[in-house]
Amino acid sequence: MKYVKWTLYTLIVLTVFGFLHYVLPQHDIVRITDTDTRRIDFGENSIFWASPDAGTATTPAQVTRDVKFIETIQTNGRPMVYRNEDTGWIWPPYFKFDSYNLQTEASDLRSTSADPRWVVVTHYGWRNEFFTIFPNAVDVRLADGPDERIIPWVNIVILTLLLVAGIMLRRMWLQFRERTLDPVFSNAGDAWEDAGDRAGDARRGARTSWGRFKAWLRSLGG
């Protein structure tokens, strides 16, 4: 039972972390080598691509589309390729409509290894060679240099707000339980515990809903 519980916790934490890591903005300092557009036929990797340009046709079974790309070299010399797609009114909520303008700015910032111009690319998403997925560039700007220190203010604000929302939800739930559930179910709960079965024994003394949930898990394992 212990292993089931910890596997469950780990999976939940990994899912939440992975989701946030994919969706929240990140900054890379790179040198843009080229920009271009390629036709992509979407397959099993289709959820890692955004939607067609805002306002253009969206036929239900659209499996092929031209996608803009920004090709770069990172400060450590490794390549990184970004896609440059509108997110429009659709997930994730970057409300990016200016992919063509961004492509123009990126083209303008191209440089060679002999005379590098370092650029900060704000992006979300992952690069994965096995599924052919690319992070989506959201913004480009000239960097102060290859060692510029970037403080992720947007992430700090968003994660703080998420934390506040989580605390708020928990307080709402506690208030609801104290004022609405407990007065209704306190008698029923006592009767249940007095039945004297194993689950009832485990529940006895577990005061919080979390404690009750854990007691219930323990009673399953026996």
Partner 1 sequence: MIAFLRLAAIGFVGLTLVYWLVSVYSRSLRREALEKRWDEGAGDAGGGDAAGDRDAYIEAGMRAYERGLRRRLIGLVYVVPVVVVVLLIWLNNYS
Stretch that binds partner 1, among 40-48, 71-79, 83-91, 213-221 (CB under 8 A): 83-91
Q: How many residues does the chain have?
A: 222
Return the residue of 60, 93, 196, 222 that touches partner 1, per CB under 8 A.
Answer: 93
DSSP annotation string for the chain? -HHHHHHHHHHHHHHHHHHHHHHS-EEEEEEEEEEEEEEEE--TTGGGS-PSSTTS---TT--EEEEEEEEEEETTS-EEEEEE---TTSSSS-----HHHHHHHHHHT---SSS---EEEEEES--BTTTTB-PEEEEEEE-S-TT-----HHHHHHHHHHHHHHHHHHHHHHHHIIIIIHHHHHHHHHHHHHT--HHHHHHTT--SHHHHHHHHHHHHH-
Q: Which of 15, 128, 175, 208 binds partner 1 (CB under 8 A)?
A: 175
- Applying CB under 8 A, does 135 fall inside the site for partner 1? no
For residues 54 and 206, which CB has a smaller minimum distance to partner 1 in the complex? 54
Determine if 179 is a binding residue for partner 1 (CB under 8 A): yes
92 counts as binding partner 1 under rule CB under 8 A: no
When asked if residue 172 is in the footprint of partner 1 (CB under 8 A), the reply is yes
Residue 95 binding partner 1, by CB under 8 A:
yes
**100 binds partner 1, rule: CB under 8 A:** no
68 touches partner 1 (CB under 8 A) = no
Q: Is 6 in the site for partner 1 (CB under 8 A)?
A: no
Instruction: Tell me the closest approach of the beta carbon of residue 176 to partner 1, in angstroms.
Output: 7
Which residues lie near partner 1 (CB under 8 A)? 51, 54-55, 58, 88-90, 93-98, 101, 138-139, 171-172, 175-176, 179-180
